[in-house]
Structure 1
């Protein structure tokens, strides 16, 4: 398994580049179609997208092993919520990659009579569950950091904040909301890895939602989300300190 993990680590950057190219083609094809480009040219862009997608799947053959190794490491985390979110998320990622590998075998002709639609839907369901776990982990980390920041300010200032008359319930609600938003902005600005992870997962979740028919958008929006998250993923590979840990 170690050799598969090393192979996966070496191919991750190439897979991210292929992913960015795939969703760039999706976005470009949609934009050209909306602007009245010739059907033949749009068909060529879609064909290029399909070829890039198939080539990208080849770089993901070892990713299931990498996800399982990440799940094994997460089991030993002391924080129960992080342990659950990261472990379950990585197990779903492993299943998603396994389904994706089977789908690659069907699309490449190795298994010609495969029900590709069934395996595609199955892979996107695992992908959606993994992203839900990732966003849950992000929300938990944000809550912890906001509580820590608020407690630090309270201890430093020695007060709980501005007092309002007892009958100003709406004003208290608005003030509390403003303070929470300001605190949220400060926490995200102070933690670039967490901010990038939130944006990346938020962009990615629209892809399986659209593919599964749970929240239909359009190919242009899906392409934009996929391209944005791919660029952010490449950024975390180029600058490892931007990758959220553990």
Structure 2
């Protein structure tokens, strides 16, 4: 298994580059179609997209072992919510990669009788559930950091509220509600600015979640939006590979 994990790590950067190129082709094909480009050119772009997809599936042959090892490490985390979200997310990634490997075998002719539509839908369901868990983890960490930031600045904020209340004998509910919303937004902004890895991970997961939602027909957005989301998340992933400190841990 360690051999597969090393193989997966070596091919990870190339797979991200191919992913970015694949979704760039998706976005380009949609743009050309809307612009009334020649059918032959659009067909060439779609063929290139399909070849990139198959190449990516080949590069991900060892990823199920890597995801299983990540799940084994996450199960020892002390925080229950993080342990649950990260471990189950990795286990769903294991199932997603297994489905993906079967799809690769079907597309290359090794499993000619494979029902590719059925296994594709299964893979996207596992992918969607993993992304939902990742987003849950992001929200949980953001909430925890906001609570910590709120406690740190509690004295200052309470003083400001007291001064505001003393200046007006009849405070309005709308003003209080607006002040609370602005306070929450300031806290959120401060937390995300001071935690680039968390910001990038949240943005990446938000972009990625629209892909399985569209493929499963739960929230159709169209090829153009899917291509833009996939390209953006791929570039963010490449950024975390170039600068490892930007990768969210654990």
Q: TM-score of the superposition, structure 2-length normalised?
A: 0.95
> Which residue in the other structure is 1:191 paired with?
195
Superposition deviation, residue 160 in structure 1: 5.8
> Which residue in the other structure is 2:18 paired with?
18
> Which residue in the other structure is 1:224 paired with?
228
Superposition deviation, residue 204 in structure 1: 0.1
Say if 1:118 and 1:179 are closer, same or farther in 2 by CA, change over 3 A: same
State the alpha-carbon separation in 1 of the partners of residues 61 and 160 from structure 2.
Answer: 54
Instruction: State which of 241, 244, 249 in structure 2 corresponds to 1:240.
Output: 244
> Which residue in the other structure is 1:128 paired with?
128
Superposition deviation, residue 167 in structure 1: 5.4
> Which residue in the other structure is 2:161 paired with?
162
Q: Please, which runs of 5 or more residues in structure 1 have no aligned partner? A: none
In the alignment of these two chains, the number of paired residues is 245
Superposition deviation, residue 113 in structure 1: 1.2
> Which residue in the other structure is 1:35 paired with?
35
Instruction: State which of 159, 175, 180 in structure 2 corresponds to 1:176.
Output: 180
Q: Indicate whether 1:98 and 2:98 are aligned.
A: yes
> Which residue in the other structure is 1:73 paired with?
73
**Per-residue Cα deviation, 1:75-95 (whole angstroms, up to 9, x for no partner):** 110000000000011100111
SS in 1 for 2:113: coil
> Which residue in the other structure is 2:51 paired with?
51
Say if 1:166 and 1:90 are closer, same or farther in 2 by CA, change over 3 A: farther
State the alpha-carbon separation in 2 of the partners of residues 226 and 166 from structure 1.
Answer: 51
RMSD: 1.2
> Which residue in the other structure is 2:209 paired with?
205
SS in 2 for 1:111: coil
